[in-house]
Chains A and B, each alone.
Chain A
Amino acid sequence: MSALLEITDATKVFGGVRAVDGASLSVGANTITALIGPNGSGKTTLFNLITGYLRPDRGRVQFAGRDVTGMDAGSLYRRGLSRTFQQARVFPQLSVQENLVVAGGYTWRQLFTRRVSSSDRNRAGQLLAEFNLAPVADLLASELSYGQRKLLEFAAVLMSDPKLVLLDEPTAGVNPVMIDTMERHVRDRHAAGITFLIVEHDMSFVMRLCDPVIVLDQGKPIFSGRPSDVQTNPLVLDAYLGS
């Protein structure tokens, strides 16, 4: 199993807080890898380092065989590295359909073409149908429920045909039906060849869906292995229960 994403010795310090502290880990191609850990263990910060939202103070990020350390978020997105946010971020004053279209990763030339062309409509339409958002395609994103917004954000980052998708707490704040829906979409897209790295607190979701599981504590991975081994590992128990 080759690594699609490889992080070596990544470090990020905020003031005195070592949010990510010399972390090395890798995400194998075609896996659904979980990244878990107590609150404040640096999961979101690690996502920001990987996706170009933050520059690491030290360390390297390699994606699809290339060193992408310090590359900006937009370029990474165009290269096939997408992410969602812990608090779903959509554009409230754009329609649901436009939220997808705007994420198409356009060239300068394409920017001067129609706002929503018929081919955009087709492309977005397929994703909208897949995510069951077609009936609300013309509503403003601000009119969606929070769960629907999470789905929309997920669907939108698929517009660039990503190789790797990072989901930051996809089930946080959504109802149980929506959690199942989310799981189904990850499975479908995984079957279609996308690799996932998922931060999640819902352990049953992680156990059902993810393999392997990486546990982060105080900015460093303390465990990486099969989901069945994670809950019996003394280091992990220690991290969650506090020492």
Chain B
Amino acid sequence: MSKALRLSALRGAAFFGLLAALPSFNLAHWVLNMLVFTLMYAAMSSAWNLVGGFTGYPSLGHAAFFGVGAYAVALWFQHHAIHSGYEPFVILPLVGVLAGLIGLPVAAVAMRTRADVFAIVTITLLFVAQTLAFNLHSITHGAQGLSIDPAPFSPATFERPFYYVLVGLLALAMGITYLTIKSKVGLSLASIRADEDKARGIGVRVSGLKLLTFCVSVGLTSMVGGVWAYYEGFVYPQFAFDPLITISIVLMTFLGGRGTLWGPILGAFVLELSQQNLAYRLGGSQFYLIAYALVFLLIMLLLPRGILPTIQDRLRYRRRRAGAAEGDDRPSAPAPRTAAAKVAVGGGERA
């Protein structure tokens, strides 16, 4: 195994080992509840990053697929009974495939546009989905919402199954991201993000890769929506199709670093933990929205590429200056960017 590979394996094992161990520390319910939401956002940010980060298509419509997943689970269990409590988790793959299939025509149309137009087209989709949920009364019960039978888990460890399923979804999203980065899919996506027309002209499978990435991304997002619906026990249109969900995952990914493996996870942990903490301590107010706006402004001004890429640049710059000071025989040539330099910061495209 190469040194780089060993390091990323270690980092992944440490992170997921810690996540797996956390519930056994007898954490208070509110802490576990907070972690459940943090994992939801981490998984969704990671999924969004495939489209918004690696491919360069800033989707604002992902919350629509969160809602699709939530309603899919809620509707399924209007007609099916919950016995062991694990049934909703078992149908998650189905929910993901369904959302992916819905995503296919959406991507085929929306991804003909780019950048700001794409963002507007996709957020429109979100409002269309919400309107449908309000108005397709016979299916969704409109504003009344749908309820799901409560999970028959022991109250003492009620959060655990949800927690572990979400850890699994996060691992899935990060695993897909890692494989993407390490394969020619990731290389091709990077070319699409940089110059789509040029990429097309050198035989990169632009249209197919955009569709594939979008479908996988929204499929993952919908599975998180399914877990959320079951965890909450009810779905209402305004919460299942909530623009704030979209805003949050975009913000988290921007904060941590678009197009990196760990950036969205870092962003989700920082923002969601602080927001939930504030909400818990200050009571459920909407003041955190103002904080969100401020955070977004600060990121755009100070760290336009996010935390991880900025640290990466700093380290590279330092290494390069150190190299020049040591009397490198190519003082004017920038130091080659080695795999080791990438790994040191953890989260570059190749990390």
Contacts and interface: CB of A to CB of B under 8 A. Distances in A.
Interface of A: 51-53, 72-74, 77-78, 82-83, 85, 89, 91-95, 98, 101-106, 108, 110-116, 135-136, 138-140, 143, 156-157, 159-160
Contact of B201 (A83, A94, A101): A83
Give the size range of B's interface with the partner. Answer: 20 to 34
Given A115-B350, A140-B337, A143-B334, A51 B201 contact: yes
B202 A94 contact: no
B204 interface: yes
22 contacts: A51-B201, A53-B197, A73-B197, A77-B202, A91-B191, A91-B194, A94-B190, A94-B191, A95-B337, A101-B187, A102-B202, A102-B204, A106-B184, A110-B184, A111-B183, A114-B183, A115-B186, A115-B187, A138-B337, A143-B334, A156-B202, A160-B203
Interface of B: 181-188, 190-191, 194-195, 197-206, 208-209, 333-334, 336-338, 350
Contacts of B181: 115
Interface of B is mostly: helix
Nearest to B202: A103
Contact of A78 (B187, B203, B337): B203
| Most chain A CB within a 10 A radius of its CB, from B204, B208, B338 | B204
| Most chain A CB within a 10 A radius of its CB, from B183, B195, B202 | B202
Contact of B206 (A74, A138, A159): A74
A106 B203 contact: yes
B194 A74 contact: no
B182 A115 contact: yes
Contacts of B194: 91-94
B187 A102 contact: yes
Contact of A112 (B183, B338, B350): B183
Given A111-B205, A114-B182, A138-B337, 6 more contacts: A91-B198, A94-B187, A102-B202, A106-B203, A108-B208, A140-B337
A74 B184 contact: no
Contacts of A95: 337
Given A74-B206, A138-B338, A89 B198 contact: yes
